[in-house]
Amino acid sequence: MERLISIEIPNLMLLLPELVVLLTAFVLFSLDLIYKRINHVLAIGVSLTGYLIALFLLLLNLGLKGETFYGLYVRDSFSTLLQIFMVLLTAVLLGFTHAYYRHRASIYGEFYYILSFALLGGMFLVSSYNLIVLYIALEAVSISFYILTALLRSDFNSKEGAFKYLILGGVSIALASYGAGFMYLYSGSLDLRYVLTHLGENQYFLILGLVLFLIGFAIKIGAVPFHFWLPDAYQGAPTPITAYMASFGKLAFFAPVVRLMPLIQEHFSYAWVFTVGIVSALTMLYGNLVALAQKDVKRLLAYSSIAHSGYIMAGIAVAQIIGLKAVIYFLLVYALMGFGSFMVLALLERASGWENRLEEFAGLRFSLPWLAVSFMVMLLALLGVPPTVGFVGKALIFMSLSYERLWWLAFVMIVATGISTGYYLRITALMFMKGSSKEIGLKVSNVEKGLIMLLTLLLAILGAVPIILWSLVSTSAENLFMR
């Protein structure tokens, strides 16, 4: 009788948005089974309906907190904030994909439910401390990304990028799993909160497990020297999916590492700062230096994404509340900047003969002035020029490094940002200071144009009035540290 009394009744209200996304995925899967050729307007309608309901539930319960399924699932302001951005990015993605895939003759009904399963995995990845839940969620996102990367008909680069991603992605999953195993041997628990506060006898198991676990996630986020898959996967993937991996993927894969920051014990703090700081410095410098030599703008932005992983890791090295706030803020704003910049390329790729070569951007303001202005704002935000939101994000990272007196890492960040000036301003100068060699014939729908302009406006508004996002980020970080 006592056993029955101790059984916990799951609080499904805490994960209602995830259940809505799961139901949406199964409805889309069923539609794809029923119809040999799914009606894409119907699929987009079902997807958007599900995502908007999930978004409404997240906004309605913005202050909801709690745990269920014996602590396997955690609902807090951090998970809710990241999930809001994830759902928004996924919904906006649907505004660009159909025209792109139709242009590439690669329309598949599977796309819609695979995208929903990726979203579902990401939502769980930001909402748990349990190693098994993290493993399953990580697999859900990763497998979805492998398939979405390869989803271009008769495109060798797409298949090559997906294969490299699959091989190194499998390695990362294996390393993270081994790390979880060693942490369990150390503590007898699968909950990271207990693992990192447990005072066991053999701390070598904990150190080895934590190192393997973090290397697994370092591969996923493309940190140097575990970045080799990322440029090929980003370049070969359908460009809207590249935008999704660069934005949604960073939110999902960084979230478990962010949750670790408040749990770092005093006797691990020096090793944490030194190790994460070194990887951060290498990632910032390598990503920007190699981007400087690129002639393909899509590949250039892929290396820029690697460099931005380094900026985020610089904040993670500061295992204090100021570092946590800076990291969460930068993660969210990079999601907007990275998503928007790759989406500009997705639109341009529909122009006849467009190959994303650097010289093709010459005189873009004459053919597509609104798109040139939007891309310029996104590039300046990625560079960190005021008053864009990118400046606020980098300033917060720099302030957190100054707070911990990590002057050497702050100096590396300044040098890396200076290097990035070379390629961001080069593209901007080509668009606005060079003559156009050819007319670009591109038909863009009002929906696509409106979404690009909205993203551009957000980058400017959030930069001019940073308190809009800062208040949400600050609350999330403080709640994580008060656990």
Q: What does the alpha-carbon distance between residue 197 and residue 190 come to, in Å, rounded to a whole number?
A: 12
Residue 435 falls inside a structural domain: yes
* pLDDT digits 0-9 by tens, 313-329: 999 998 788 889 999 99
Looking at per-residue pLDDT, the higher value among 340 and 168 belongs to 340
Q: So what's the pLDDT on residue 4? A: 46
Lowest mean pLDDT among 199-203, 269-273, 446-450: 199-203
| Pick from 445, 217, 255: nearest CA to 346 | 445
Residue pair 264/190 in contact (Cβ under 8 Å)? The answer is no
Mean pLDDT along residues 233-262: 92
Residue pair 75/46 in contact (Cβ under 8 Å)? The answer is no
Mean pLDDT along residues 295-311: 94
Q: So what's the pLDDT on residue 3? A: 47
Q: So what's the pLDDT on residue 195? A: 87
Tokens 């080895």: give the residue. Answer: 208
Residue pair 191/130 in contact (Cβ under 8 Å)? The answer is yes
* pLDDT digits 0-9 by tens, 39-64: 778 889 999 999 999 999 999 888 88
Residue 228 falls inside a structural domain: no
Residue 415 falls inside a structural domain: yes
Q: So what's the pLDDT on residue 196? A: 84
Residue 315 falls inside a structural domain: yes
Lowest mean pLDDT among 123-127, 284-288, 440-444, 471-475: 440-444
Residue 248 falls inside a structural domain: no
Lowest mean pLDDT among 18-22, 300-304, 445-449: 445-449
Residue 307 has pLDDT above 80, yes or no: yes
Residue 367 falls inside a structural domain: yes
Q: How confident is the model at residue 2 (pLDDT cuts 50, 70, 90)?
A: very low
Q: How confident is the model at residue 1 (pLDDT cuts 50, 70, 90)?
A: very low
Residue 171 falls inside a structural domain: no
Residue 459 has pLDDT above 50, yes or no: yes
Q: So what's the pLDDT on residue 168? A: 86
Residue 68 phi, psi dihedral angles, 5° rounding: -150, 175
* pLDDT digits 0-9 by tens, 112-167: 999 999 999 999 999 999 999 999 999 999 999 999 998 887 777 888 888 888 88
Q: So what's the pLDDT on residue 483? A: 62
- As for how many domains the chain has, the answer is 1
Residue 332 falls inside a structural domain: yes
Instruction: Residue 434: count other Cβ atoms within 10 Å of its Cβ.
Output: 15
Q: How confident is the model at residue 427 (pLDDT cuts 50, 70, 90)?
A: very high
Task: Print the domain residue range for 289.
Answer: 267-483
3-state secondary structure the chain: CHHHHHCCCCCHHHHHHHHHHHHHHHHHHHHHHHCCCCCHHHHHHHHHHHHHHHHHHHHHCCCCCEEECCCCEEECHHHHHHHHHHHHHHHHHHHHHHHHHHHCCCCCCHHHHHHHHHHHHHHHHCCCCEHHHHHHHHHHHHHHHHHHHCCCCCCHHHHHHHHHHHHHHHHHHHHHHHHHHHHHHHHCCCEHHHHCCCCCCCHHHHHHHHHHHHHHHHHHHCCCCCCCHHHHHHHHCCHHHHHHHHHHHHHHHHHHHHHHHHHCCHHHHHHHHHHHHHHHHHHHHHHHHHHHCCCEHHHHHHHHHHHHHHHHHHHHHCCCHHHHHHHHHHHHHHHHHHHHHHHHHHHHCCCCCCCCEHHHHCCHHHHCHHHHHHHHHHHHHHHCCCCCHHHHHHHHHHHHHHHCCCHHHHHHHHHHHHHHHHHHHHHHHHHHHCCCCCCCCCCCCHHHHHHHHHHHHHHHHHHHCCHHHHHHHHHHHHHHHCC
Q: What does the alpha-carbon distance between residue 27 and residue 50 come to, in Å, rounded to a whole number?
A: 10
